Amino acid sequence: MNNLFSIGELAKYQHVSKQTLIFYDKIGLFRPAFVDPSNGYRYYSAKQIDYLDTILIMKKIGFSLEEIRMHMQDYTIDSSLIALRKQLSVLDSRIQELSLIRSRLASRCEQMEDAKSCLRKEIPAGVEKVNARRILLHPVEAPYTLRETSIATKECFAEAFEKQLPVFFQCGVCVPLERIRKGHCTEASFAFLPIEKTEQSENIKELPSGTCASIYHVGDYQSIGRSYRKLLSYCEENALEIVSDSYEFCINDYITSGDEKEYITKILFYVRGAKG
């Protein structure tokens, strides 16, 4: 038809699919200028190309299709300025969020890179200085099996995502020293996520800076007892008094590997030299 474009032609010019244009028609966002009653073919006017440009640009900026539809029912320079400035604020907030996400993701990658050597050779227990850090806690319910630990971990993530808390992409557990000494090394009392400083949750504990005895456990979690026995022996042999429960930080786990043989868990005890 003269001065009209078929849906295929318009799709080609704008680099969109015909299915996209059909969908826009169905939701009332971008309807054809003419529909042939004999065959249902859609045709668009030259003026509508500019209209579609506006839709595609607003979508690229980040507006939802419903926001675009409402805006374009009757838009002026004033209403467009309001909408665009509002979207600027949305983008600024998103950029800040993405920057934080990127830094936490980079931190996780660095930890994994540093710990990969554990997969090639066993790293013995040792002592290290640790900086203060914060963790978001959720209690593990009795009987403290791996099932309850998993549930507590999910509760941590659920709170973090719901409140948009600045957590790192890492999980861990706290295991009481008395349980470890009895051989109940997988009976955690708390699950946790490392987190940056925030006032948005009351379930946050600050771990102080200090001296820690540590060891990397490689393999499935059920076998972590062997690494605890090595760490307890190391502390005894070096006259180190354990003054805290255990803090386990998952370096490589189900989030980053489907092979339990590649799981890496860092175990920490706060310690001090034995009296005398």
pLDDT tens readout for residues 212-235: 999 999 999 999 999 999 999 999
Mean pLDDT along residues 65-83: 94
Mean pLDDT along residues 23-51: 92
More confident: 70 or 273: 70
- pLDDT confidence of residue 256: 87
| Res. 177 pLDDT band, cuts 50 70 90 | very high
- pLDDT confidence of residue 1: 61
Tell me the pLDDT tens digit for each residue of 137-159. Answer: 999 999 999 999 999 999 999 99
Inter-residue contact 43 to 33 (CB < 8 Å): yes
Q: What b/e readout covers 72-96, taking b as 16+ CB neighbours within 10 angstroms?
A: beeeeeeeeeebeeeeeeeeeeeee
pTM over 0.75: no
Least Cα distance to 18 among 48, 51, 41, 35 occurs for 41
Inter-residue contact 247 to 174 (CB < 8 Å): yes
Mean pLDDT of the chain: 92
| Res. 276 pLDDT band, cuts 50 70 90 | very low
Q: Are strands 133-139 and 246-252 parallel, antiparallel or unpaired?
A: unpaired
Mean pLDDT along residues 101-107: 89
Mean pLDDT along residues 194-207: 93
Q: Report residue 41: phi and psi, to 5°.
A: -70, 140
Instruction: Name the token pair of 78.
Output: 């004033």
Please tell me the distance from the alpha carbon of residue 239 to that of residue 233, in angstroms, as a whole number: 10
Residues forming beta bridges with residue 247, ordered by sequence position: 174, 268
Neighbours of 169 (CB within 10 A): 16
